[in-house]
Amino acid sequence: MTCLDPWVLLLLLLLPVLLLNRTTNFYFKICFYCVLCVVFSVVACVVCFLRHGGRTVRNMSIIKRFVRIFKYFYGLQLEMKGAEKLHEDKPCVIISNHQSILDMMGLMEILPRNCIQIAKRELLYTGPVGLIMYLGGVIFINRKRTSTAMSAMEEVGNILVQKNLKVWIYPEGTRNGSYDLLPFKKGAFYLAVQAQVPIIPVVYSSFSSFYQPEKKIFTSGKIKVEVLDPIKTEGMTVDDIPKLLETCHSLMRETFFRISDKLNEKGTNGSTSQPVQ
Ligand SMILES: CCCCCCCC/C=C\CCCCCCCC(=O)SCCNC(=O)CCNC(=O)[C@H](O)C(C)(C)COP(=O)(O)OP(=O)(O)OC[C@H]1O[C@@H](n2cnc3c(N)ncnc32)[C@H](O)[C@@H]1OP(=O)(O)O
Ligand SMILES: CCCCCCCCCCCCCC(=O)OC[C@@H](O)COP(=O)(O)O
């Protein structure tokens, strides 16, 4: 027995109490999510290096396998509709709503082959997590400098068709936990029009039925995912971008409301959920 043993014992006795308390349970789950990301990233980095020797989008299939385990720890169920639309072997721009760091679980559940993602540059500096993103071929953009972000995305546009790639972009440009979509940034639409490839919108239902950071709620739950029909951009020019953006935004917003559980006035999950049609 070492002198630390009473403390370990105390912690073990306190653990059920901490896990039963809503606030500590919330922080525990978030911390555990970060720990999972870091630990799995370290392991995945080694596997990626051994398998492909460096940065390539093919590493995403390895990353996907690891991240798909996360949902079991959190009791999350994902219900997909129209996922086959993403797997056609053609270049496209995929846009989806972005609610939280938890999105990554939903992303990896449905991510097609040869699909790169656009992320904010700051994520590159998150140690092993940044390294695994780099190895997976994620394109990092500096949101504070529109011109460099635009040219990084333009480069993606140049190779999209040539290398038969897909690109996944969060057009809201930031996480948004409110029960609505933010106005869209324009980069994804410039990219699609520039490369003359279709846009495929993907909508995730609101997490607020099981995850509300402001109320420290994080329970098990279900995420509905709906892949909408591709929107063609062939023949479109820069002048058509505002209308294209508006069409995508309203289609996604409509779908978001339809598949999300409505909150009641207390901000908790009510019984007004609508089934996916
Ligand atoms: C094994 C275990 C592993 C565990 C670990 C996990 C590893 C998992 C691995 C991998 C998962 C990866 C997951 C990644 C997730 C990351 C999520 C994020 O980081 S979300 C933030 C970054 N994303 C974006 O920001 C969206 C893209 N943004 C844009 O497209 C913007 O439009 C941007 C940055 C290009 C410019 O943004 P602006 O804030 O300046 O706003 P605007 O209104 O769009 O543009 C300003 C002006 O520039 C013009 N413009 C924009 N793009 C243009 C273009 N390409 N050409 C010409 N003009 C353009 C516009 O027309 C506008 O002009 P006018 O105001 O209308 O006059
Ligand atoms: C030093 C180790 C830290 C480890 C932290 C691990 C955290 C896991 C992060 C998983 C990647 C999730 C990507 C993501 O969702 O990033 C948020 C950005 O999209 C938007 O950023 P913001 O809302 O504009 O701040």
Q: Which residues line ligand 2 (CB under 6 A)?
A: 34, 37-38, 98, 101, 103-104, 120, 123, 126-127, 129, 174-175
Give a three-class secondary structure readout of the chain. CCCCHHHHHHHHHHHHHHHHCHHHHHHHHHHHHHHHHHHHHHHHHHHHHHHHCCCCHHHHHHHHHHHCCHHHHHCEEEEEECHHHHHCCCCEEEEECCCCCCHHHHHHHHCCCCEEEEEEHHHHHCCHHHHHHHHCCCEEECCCCHHHHHHHHHHHHHHHCCCCCEEEECCCCCCCCCCCCCCCCCHHHHHHHHHCCCEEEEEECCHHHCEEHHHCEECCEEEEEEECCCECCCCCCHHHHHHHHHHHHHHHHHHHHHHCCCECCCCCECCCCCCCC
Q: Is 192 exposed, middle or buried (0-12, 13-18, 19+ CB in 10 A)?
A: buried
> Which residues, including other chains, have CB under 8 Å from residue 204's CB and lie 6 or more apart?
96, 97, 99, 103, 106, 223, 224, 225
Ligand 1, atom 45, residue with closest C-alpha: 186
pLDDT of residue 218: 94
pLDDT of residue 6: 84
Q: Which residues line ligand 1 (CB under 6 A)?
A: 37, 40-41, 44, 63, 66-67, 98, 104, 117-120, 123, 129, 132-133, 136, 138, 141, 143, 146, 149-150, 153-154, 169-171, 173-174, 185-188, 190
- Cα of 215 vs centre of ligand 2, distance in Å, is 20
- Cα of 27 vs centre of ligand 2, distance in Å, is 16
Provide the CATH number for the domain formed by 5-259 in this structure.
3.40.1130
pLDDT of residue 10: 85
Ligand 1, atom 32, residue with closest C-alpha: 187
| Positions of the chain with pLDDT lower than 70, given as ranges | 1-4, 262-277
Ligand 2, atom 20, residue with closest C-alpha: 174
pLDDT of residue 262: 65
- Cα of 189 vs centre of ligand 2, distance in Å, is 24
Ligand 2, atom 15, residue with closest C-alpha: 101
The CA-to-CA distance between both ends of the chain, in Å, stands at 61
**pTM of the model as a whole:** 0.91
pLDDT of residue 11: 84
**What are the structural domain ranges in the chain?**
5-259
Question: CA-CA distance, 108 to 130, in Å (whole number)?
Answer: 16
